[in-house]
A and B are shown apart, each in its own frame.
Chain A
Amino acid sequence: MAWTGALTYADIDIYCLTMPRAATTTDAFNAVAEPRRRAILEVLADGERPVNDLVARLGLPQPLVSKHLRVLREVGLVDVRGAGRQRIYRLEGRSLEPIHDWVKGFERTWEQRFQLMDEVLEELKEQEEGESDDE
């Protein structure tokens, strides 16, 4: 299941994690456990943004936003590029993969069940149609 780099709100829900698996602070699981860092990722999910823009959108003090951006950069969740005097941040989707995979494994298990259910349902539909034809 390839990570496409597109982040939806459904994916954002995935970040509501507890942290038993986060062994160190330089860990994506740990980094996304902080609500304001999740908020930053949500904004960046719509596209890259300069710091000022993030500050304005989140309504948080610039030093705090910068601090969280630093943590997110350390774990590779965001990347930064300079454009003139601005520093523009973007989401680094690939580093979300471990979190994404965590839920995707579970999702896949259920989808395999549902695909078999689809087959059962096709048969049930045919049976029902057969019965109504008999009437």
Chain B
Amino acid sequence: MTSSGTAVVTLPTQTQIVITRDFDAPRHLVWKAYTTPELIQRWWSGERGEVTKAEVDLRIGGTWRYMMVANGGFEVGFHGEFREIVPNERLVTTEVYDTGPGSESVDESMAPLITTTFTEVDGRTTMTQVTDCPSAEVRDMIVESGMEAGMQESMDALERVAITLA
């Protein structure tokens, strides 16, 4: 898949995260992969675990809910509500982290807002995902989740090495 791009993350303001990625496919297919439960099942957990739930009620005010069992055995879930839907072009949704410490007191009105746009040029699609966070702290927490996961993966790998050496 050499013709696809690599994800680029930037932090243009204190409360935003922008992820861009090129796909070697027309945007109606990228949209399909991004919004169809059976297809979300196959990519959403990345290398971090297995998707155990992907529910999508794709209409304004409808909710989505994804869950995965991470490689460490713990369950991680997110859900949100669709705010804007322009098929193949634009999707606006909230995103709430619903498993783990602190999730009991989630204030849905303070949920980060994710705006995803799909633009197609010559059969290739650029997906841009802008996350607007209610505060710099929330933004940093989201970015940090990636680092923690990365570190966790390294620790797991280290543990495996240690076990083979024992």
Which A positions have Cβ atoms within 8 angstroms of B?
10, 13-14, 16-18, 20, 101-122, 124-125, 128
A-B contact count (CB 8 A): 113
* B106 sits at the interface (CB 8 A): no
Q: Shortest distance in angstroms between A23's beta carbon and chain B's nearest beta carbon? A: 15
CB contacts (< 8 Å) of B42 on chain A: these are 116, 119-120
* B84 sits at the interface (CB 8 A): no
The number of chain B residues touching the other chain, given as a range, is: 35 or more
CB contacts (< 8 Å) of B19 on chain A: these are 107, 110
**Are A112 and B46 in contact, with the CB atoms below 8 A?**
yes
**Are B32 and A112 in contact, with the CB atoms below 8 A?**
no
Main DSSP-derived SS at the A contact region? helix
**Are A14 and B32 in contact, with the CB atoms below 8 A?**
no
Give 6 closest A-B pairs by Cβ, nearest first: A106-B146, A105-B147, A112-B46, A105-B150, A116-B43, A121-B25
The distance in angstroms between the C-alpha atoms of A114 and B25, with both chains bound, is 12
Which B positions have Cβ atoms within 8 angstroms of A?
1, 4, 6-14, 17, 19, 21, 23-25, 29-30, 32-34, 39, 42-48, 136-137, 140, 142-151
25 CB-based A-B contacts, threshold 8 Å: A13-B11, A14-B10, A17-B140, A18-B137, A18-B140, A101-B147, A102-B144, A103-B11, A103-B143, A105-B147, A105-B151, A106-B146, A109-B48, A109-B145, A109-B150, A110-B21, A110-B146, A111-B6, A112-B47, A114-B4, A114-B23, A115-B1, A117-B43, A121-B33, A125-B25
Contact of A110 among B9, B14, B23, B136 (CB under 8 A): B9
The distance in angstroms between the C-alpha atoms of A114 and B125, with both chains bound, is 12
The distance in angstroms between the C-alpha atoms of A104 and B19, with both chains bound, is 12
CB contacts (< 8 Å) of B149 on chain A: these are 105, 109
Q: A14-B11, A105-B150 are in contact. Are A128 and B29 (CB under 8 A)?
A: yes
Known: A103-B11, A116-B43, A117-B34. 19 other contacts (CB 8 A): A16-B12, A17-B11, A17-B14, A102-B147, A103-B143, A106-B17, A106-B142, A106-B146, A108-B150, A110-B9, A111-B7, A116-B42, A117-B30, A119-B1, A119-B42, A119-B43, A120-B43, A121-B23, A122-B25
